């Protein structure tokens, strides 16, 4: 590396995906190496991306000075001048338009503490217009899991998935996108005889190990899964005891499936009827079957929800919830995707996924903050961008690049230009930076500390391995300064640990956690009283809704529709 090499004795968490591998810098290898005994990559394995994780630290195009737009150009200024401009511009929008004219975008590359402070800032100012793109990646699947099971995270752990007899992987390519998780936990089970069924439009790295690969017609994933469940019931492969003890409304659900014609389902999904029968037989006879679901199940709001509901129904019918090697396991992709959502960087939920409409939840937060958050859900990132220049006049973007949109890049760029004020906190020049009125240079993962939450609910500590470049401040310090200038709420903390302590008091998912408890390992939510590591298998006795049973709903016909699939 050029410049100051990271401290080889400090361990942190790899920033490349949501698996949460532990890494440290090796001068001999001029890159990252794994750490033996780590919570996830126990044997010290790293993928290619992880090995190269330090590459961007000394990139020539790092932003190192605050920038202000003057006469159409971004020019370097002092931090004080940048903060003065931010304070003045935000106060103008607040005075002229009110707090709901502001929007705040967090990011999964930010720590839990940073995302927590950003959503606190938004809500103390009086708006729930706060979001992060990680919410969009799995929004419909998470909504179904929260509604049906009461929990927004993986029902199981990576380590217990090694005991599965069958994996149904839907809309995901873990062999390429979460390779350490796949090779360390799924592949050993597959090598030991577990069945892999891959539901994906195109064959990819994961398909190479699959016993069956099916590619339903776009928009018919839910219909395919329902057809499997219907065929499974026809063969009387359901778990009668689990259905009786842990579910309700099964009769209506089964009756709705009975109306499905296997031949018609085969025609509409493009999956051969015999293949559907074979998959139903394998799934129904597996002792421990686990669903692995990725962004491919998020075709659109309707299809995504329908697919997730169908998968949950399949698990409930076969009793594959609440046991090792089973469950609904959401493969999040980005570094702190789980954590950004857990800590409340969402327009409709407070920290801990408590709805903003919940008066008790708002009261608990207000007691800690000294200010009550609004009760009406805010705008999502997509809705906020559509309202730029109209209902939304100012935006604060941290570690995100909304100017690049798969939906309509040109229209988003025009929307950014229509804002009265755009503040961007970023480490590198991006398309969004080009439209900013103020740019604050951000720190990178190895330059800061805090916590991140991986895909199987493990909270780990990141530790600074090297100082930021001259002129760059850590993101947490930037958020604290802006919070102090714009609000009367508490934005004075001795350190990031104190921020985390506050977070655990307002977020029931993280209750009982501490920096000392996490140490060089991890703590997994939920953390029972007096426990050290947290709960691995969810829903063993009760669902996270607090109820022992969850309801089946009659299946409505899912119309065939054309929609984009996971690449």
Residue 230 included in any domain: yes
**Residues 124 and 150 occupy one common structural domain:** no
Residue 523 included in any domain: no
Residue 406 included in any domain: yes
557 or 200: which leads in pLDDT: 200
pLDDT of residue 557: 64
**Residues 192 and 87 occupy one common structural domain:** no
**Residues 426 and 365 occupy one common structural domain:** yes
Angle at 339 between CA 335 and CA 344, to 5 degrees: 135
CATH code for the domain of 30: 2.20.25.90
Please say if the pLDDT value at position 407 is more than 70.
no
pLDDT of residue 295: 86
**Residues 78 and 35 occupy one common structural domain:** no
Range of the domain at 93: 69-135+335-510
Lowest mean pLDDT among 295-309, 354-368, 379-393, 457-471: 295-309
**Residues 153 and 293 occupy one common structural domain:** yes
Please say if the pLDDT value at position 443 is more than 70.
yes
Please say if the pLDDT value at position 355 is more than 60.
yes
pLDDT in tens, 126-160: 999 999 988 877 888 999 999 999 999 999 999 99
Residues 6+ apart with CB under 8 A from 240: none
555 or 102: which leads in pLDDT: 102
Residue 418 banded pLDDT, cuts 50, 70, 90: very high
Q: Tell me how far apart the alpha carbons of residues 368 and 316 are, in angstroms, rounded to a whole number.
A: 39
Please say if the pLDDT value at position 408 is more than 80.
no
Cis peptide bond N-terminal to 526, omega within 30: yes
Q: Tell me how far apart the alpha carbons of residues 194 and 9 are, in angstroms, rounded to a whole number.
A: 39
Residue 537 included in any domain: no
pTM for the full model? 0.95
Alpha-helical runs (H) found in 47-111: 48-51, 79-97
Residue 564 included in any domain: no
Please say if the pLDDT value at position 299 is more than 80.
no
**Residues 343 and 463 occupy one common structural domain:** yes
Q: Please give the structure tokens belonging to residue 440.
A: 């604050």
Nearest to residue 219, comparing CAs of 141, 299, 140?
299
Angle at 199 between CA 195 and CA 201, to 5 degrees: 140
**SS (HEC) of 258-280:** HCCCHHHHHHHHCCCHHHHHHHH
Nearest to residue 180, comparing CAs of 46, 292, 32?
46
3-state secondary structure (DSSP) of residue 453: strand
- Kindly state the average pLDDT of the residues 543-556: 94
**Residues 367 and 462 occupy one common structural domain:** yes
CATH code for the domain of 309: 3.40.228.10
Please say if the pLDDT value at position 226 is more than 50.
yes
pLDDT in tens, 154-187: 999 999 999 999 999 999 999 999 999 999 999 9
Please say if the pLDDT value at position 304 is more than 70.
no
Residue 541 included in any domain: no
CATH code for the domain of 81: 3.40.50.740
**Residues 341 and 459 occupy one common structural domain:** yes
% of the chain surpassing 70 pLDDT:
95
**Residues 311 and 427 occupy one common structural domain:** no
**Residues 458 and 497 occupy one common structural domain:** yes
Q: Tell me how far apart the alpha carbons of residues 7 and 5 are, in angstroms, rounded to a whole number.
A: 7
Number of structural domains in the chain: 3
pLDDT of residue 409: 65
Please say if the pLDDT value at position 123 is more than 60.
yes
The dihedrals phi and psi of 300, each to the nearest 5 degrees, come to: -160, 180
pLDDT of residue 413: 82
**Residues 221 and 285 occupy one common structural domain:** yes
pLDDT in tens, 506-536: 999 999 999 999 999 999 999 998 887 899 9
**Residues 312 and 232 occupy one common structural domain:** yes
Pick the last residue of a domain from 510, 534, 561: 510
Nearest to residue 452, comparing CAs of 110, 75, 184?
110
Please say if the pLDDT value at position 567 is more than 60.
no
Residue 359 included in any domain: yes
Residue 415 included in any domain: yes
Residue 562 banded pLDDT, cuts 50, 70, 90: very low
């Amino acid at each position: 590396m050029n410049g100051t090499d990271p401290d080889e004795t400090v361990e942190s968490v790899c920033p490349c995906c949501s698996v949460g591998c532990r890494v440290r810098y090796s001068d001999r290898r001029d890159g990252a190496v794994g750490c033996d005994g780590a919570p996830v990559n126990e044997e010290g394995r790293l993928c290619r991306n992880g090995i190269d994780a330090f590459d961007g630290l000394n990139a020539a195009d790092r932003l190192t000075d605050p920038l202000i737009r003057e006469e159409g150009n971004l020019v370097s200024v002092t931090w004080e001048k940048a903060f003065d401009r931010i304070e003045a511009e935000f106060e103008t929008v607040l005075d002229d338009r009110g707090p709901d004219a502001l929007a705040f975008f967090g990011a999964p590359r930010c720590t839990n503490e940073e995302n927590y402070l950003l959503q606190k800032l938004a809500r103390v100012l009086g708006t729930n217009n706060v979001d992060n793109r990680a919410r969009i990646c799995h929004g419909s699947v998470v909504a179904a899991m929260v509604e049906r099971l009461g929990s927004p995270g993986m029902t199981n752990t990576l380590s217990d998935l090694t005991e599965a007899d069958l994996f149904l992987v839907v809309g995901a390519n873990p062999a390429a996108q979460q390779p350490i998780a796949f090779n360390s936990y799924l592949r050993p089970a597959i090598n030991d005889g577990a069945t892999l069924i891959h539901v994906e439009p195109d064959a990819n790295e994961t398909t190479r190990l699959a016993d069956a690969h099916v590619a339903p017609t776009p928009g018919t994933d839910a219909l395919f899964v329902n057809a499997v469940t219907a065929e499974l019931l026809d063969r009387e492969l359901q778990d009668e005891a689990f259905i009786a003890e842990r579910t309700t409304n099964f009769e209506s659900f089964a009756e709705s499936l009975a109306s499905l014609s296997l031949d018609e389902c085969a025609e509409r999904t493009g999956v051969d009827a015999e293949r559907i029968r074979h998959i139903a037989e394998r799934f129904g006879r597996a002792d421990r079957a686990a669903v692995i679901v990725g962004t491919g199940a998020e075709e659109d709001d309707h299809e995504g929800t329908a697919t997730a509901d169908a998968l949950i129904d399949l698990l409930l019918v076969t009793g594959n919830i609440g046991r090792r090697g089973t469950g609904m396991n959401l493969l999040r992709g980005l570094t702190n995707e789980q954590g950004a959502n857990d800590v409340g960087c969402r327009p409709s939920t407070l920290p801990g996924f408590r709805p903003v409409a919940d008066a008790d939840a708002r009261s608990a937060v207000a007691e800690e903050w000294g200010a009550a958050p609004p009760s009406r859900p805010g705008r999502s990132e997509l809705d906020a961008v559509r309202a730029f220049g109209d209902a939304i006049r100012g935006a604060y973007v941290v570690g995100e690049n909304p100017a690049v949109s798969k939906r309509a890049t040109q229209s988003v760029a025009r929307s950014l230009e229509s804002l009265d004020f755009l503040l961007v906190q970023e480490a590198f020049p991006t398309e969004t930076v080009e439209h900013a009125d103020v740019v604050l240079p951000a720190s990178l993962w190895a330059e800061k500390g805090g916590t991140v939450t991986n895909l199987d609910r493990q909270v780990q500590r990141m530790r600074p391995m090297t100082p930021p470049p001259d002129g760059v401040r850590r993101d947490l310090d930037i958020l604290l300064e802006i919070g102090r200038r714009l609000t009367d709420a508490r934005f004075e903390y001795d350190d990031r640990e104190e921020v985390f302590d506050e977070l655990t008091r307002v977020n029931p998912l993280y209750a009982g956690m501490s920096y000392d408890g996490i140490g060089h390992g991890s703590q997994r939510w939920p953390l029972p009283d007096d426990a050290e590591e947290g709960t691995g298998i969810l829903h063993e006795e009760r669902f996270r809704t607090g109820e022992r049973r969850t309801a089946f709903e009659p299946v409505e016909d899912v119309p065939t529709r054309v929609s984009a699939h996971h690449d």
